[in-house]
Structure 1
Amino acid sequence: MEKLTAPKIEISIRTILVGIGAFFLLKFAWDMKDLLLSLFIAYIVMSAAKQPVDILARKGVSRKLAVLLVFTLFFVGVGLVFSSIIPPLVSETTLFIKHSPQIVENVRSALPINIGSFSLVEYIPNATNKFIVVLGSVFSNTSFFISTLFFSIYLTLDSNLLALALSRITSKEQKEKIIAIEIEIEKRLGKWLLGQAFLMSIIGVTTYIVLSLLGVRYALPLGIIAGLLEAIPNIGPFVAAIPAFFVGFSQYPFLGLFTILAAIGIQQFENQIVVPMVMRKMVGIHPILTLVVLIIGGRYAGVLGLLFAIPLTLVVGTIITEIRK
């Protein structure tokens, strides 16, 4: 009878070294996650700023002056918007926070069921609080904001940085391929950021107008919440509807019902008109894929995963598509 021998598994020294190198690379990336996040945000901002800068440069404006003009106009525009909405926003938000316990209590006592028994009702405020805390901790960090701003400006100024670096370590054909991939990534990320900003503005303004017409209190902060949460596709609009319903219902039950109907109407307006017109044409990600990557991003990276799942998917998808050409 022939003896059975166990198959030998041989692992080369090179495989071991590659594994060790990959481990330390991942550890380094994790340790430097704040820096990498700052660079990634800066790269997205650069992708959006590069097109107007290039247009000005082609018209004879020096690149440094073009970058200065684009970023200055952006900050002036943001400053004008915020200066006009901050006084009423602070006033309404202060009242909203002050009366929120009473609003919740009014809804609890008015509904014929104990809404506190549903975990979703407990989860949504917690999720919203975590979202606000994370955003606050990231963007209130002065060094993070300043470093991201400087990275954005530097990357926009020196847009051929990758080409110069690659010219020293790759062949001409490889360099051209990588540069083509980078150009396509920049185009898609720039379109995504501009489309996302437009979408958030449209939904925020629409929500504010509709809630104001319905007579719902605190329409301005609720509209801003709806606009900000639009950064999380599919999930954000649902979460944004909860505080609006609570406020409306606390005034009188039928207003709560009208608020939910208004939220559904705004969602349909977004899905049927705004998103096909803006995001799908500019980005081209299928809604099912969007939901899948959001679930994965939220599962493994929390709120930041939800925020950056789509741009990361764009980067990976573009690389795969361009390599297969």
Structure 2
Amino acid sequence: MRKKTFFKLVLILFLLIIIFVLIYYKAKISRIITPFILAVVLTYILNPLVCKLHRKNIPISASILLVYTFFILFIASIIIFLIPELINNTKELIESVPDITARYQKMFAGFLENIQKSKWSPDIKAAVLGEIEGAATAIQKYALEILGKTLNVIMQTVSFLADFILALVIAFYLMKDKEQFIEAALSIMPLKWRNGIISTGREVSTILSNFVQGQLLTALIIGILESIGLYIVGVKYALILGVIGGISNIIPYFGPFIAAIPSAAIALLDSPIKVVWTILVFIVVQQIDNAFISTKIIEGRLGLHPVVTIFAVLIGGEFFGIIGMMLAVPVFAVMRIIFRRAIDAIV
């Protein structure tokens, strides 16, 4: 019992050291590992198709190149038919930020005028006016931040394209030489650990495969449903808001609010009743997701308690932003498996 407790403490200390290094050098590490993370995601998406072709006696390199060809054609078709509309939506939204800000300021000014004319006590008036003025300042600041980050987003897009091209190269070798990588990793491990490592690797791979494939398909479906729903109720920029909703849906618990809040804010500029319809769209889509999509598409659960999931998302978001929130849950799930298997193997 003491031995088991000792090894648990050693593993916890080791994990804390790793977490400290990741946090302290997060900027440098994120630049290095981004193409590798993308490569792993691409591998889990494309490898099943590569394996099917390879089983038909097509050489592995040719199988990968064939899958890459269809994948690039698919991406190109999206760029040709969808991206122009998405760019127009984004451009219109950015250009309309000053107008949206001005309209909200006018709305707040009307509230202020009505409050000044009301028969409320001076203390209540002062408290309400303070809250409204604070909200107006926050909205203006948020709008200016959006405009200020526009150029940064463009630069990040260029950087992402470079990382994506590098990820395609890395993913090619991960799929082509995966057996060699596995053999090389096992060769440096003690013989008594190898079976356990293979078993752990398979469990981790299954979880990551289910997560990546399931979440991407779920995000696609959610994005389509929300775009259609917002378009039907007449919300402007329905496509870009739906895309944001689909991507943010990957983040557990908090994701749906990321798209719902700006959608409701834009709908409010037209009419209060449109806000109700907009919120109803997100509620209906989330109910469909919970009842049918996630339960059917994502096979198996990551095995994390809801409290741990929320903690993981908050930690990931605090140190690594939106990407950290998206990756926090599978990372915690993998760490949990490795931690449990390591204790079982050592003790």
TM-score range, shorter chain: 0.7 to 0.9
Partner Cα separation in structure 2 for residue 120 and residue 269 of structure 1: 34
Partner Cα separation in structure 2 for residue 308 and residue 134 of structure 1: 22
Partner Cα separation in structure 2 for residue 153 and residue 233 of structure 1: 31
Q: Is the 8 A contact 2:101 2:139 kept in 1?
A: no
Partner Cα separation in structure 2 for residue 321 and residue 137 of structure 1: 42
TM-score (ref. length: structure 1): 0.79
- Name the structure 2 match of 1:239: 258
- Name the structure 1 match of 2:62: 65
Residue 247 of structure 1, CA deviation: 1.9
**Distance change in 2, residues 1:279/1:35 (3 Å):** same
Q: Is the 8 A contact 1:162 1:179 kept in 2?
A: no
Q: Which structure 2 residues correspond to residues 71-82 of structure 1 after superposition, within 5 A? A: 71-82=68-79
Q: Is the 8 A contact 1:196 1:279 kept in 2?
A: yes
1:41-83 alpha-carbon deviations (Å, 9 max, x no partner): 3223323332222222222221111212222222221221232
Answering whether residue 242 of structure 2 is matched by residue 223 of structure 1, we say yes
TM-score (ref. length: structure 2): 0.75
- Name the structure 1 match of 2:158: 140
- Name the structure 1 match of 2:115: none
- Name the structure 2 match of 1:307: 326
Answering whether residue 134 of structure 2 is matched by residue 117 of structure 1, we say yes
Q: Is the 8 A contact 1:167 1:175 kept in 2?
A: yes
Instruction: Look up the SS of the partner of 1:251 in the other structure.
Output: coil
**Distance change in 2, residues 1:121/1:77 (3 Å):** same
Select the residue among 172, 185, 188 that pairs with 2:207: 188
Instruction: Look up the SS of the partner of 2:82 in the other structure.
Output: helix
Select the residue among 13, 36, 40 that pairs with 2:37: 40
Residue 294 of structure 1, CA deviation: 0.2
- Report how many aligned residue pairs link the two structures: 306
Q: Is the 8 A contact 1:47 1:190 kept in 2?
A: yes
1:213-248 alpha-carbon deviations (Å, 9 max, x no partner): 112222112111212222322222102112211221
Measured on the aligned residues, the alpha-carbon RMSD in Å equals 3.5
Instruction: Look up the SS of the partner of 1:234 in the other structure.
Output: coil
Q: Is the 8 A contact 2:89 2:237 kept in 1?
A: yes
Partner Cα separation in structure 2 for residue 109 and residue 225 of structure 1: 28
> Residue type matched to 1:57 in 2?
H
Residue 33 of structure 1, CA deviation: 4.0
Deviates more, 1:120-129 or 1:32-41: 120-129
Q: Is the 8 A contact 1:191 1:283 kept in 2?
A: no
Select the residue among 159, 163, 169 that pairs with 2:188: 169
> Residue type matched to 2:167 in 1?
T
Instruction: Look up the SS of the partner of 1:160 in the other structure.
Output: helix
Instruction: Look up the SS of the partner of 1:140 in the other structure.
Output: helix
Residue 123 of structure 1, CA deviation: 8.7
Residue 280 of structure 1, CA deviation: 6.3
Deviates more, 1:129-138 or 1:156-165: 129-138
Partner Cα separation in structure 2 for residue 26 and residue 32 of structure 1: 9
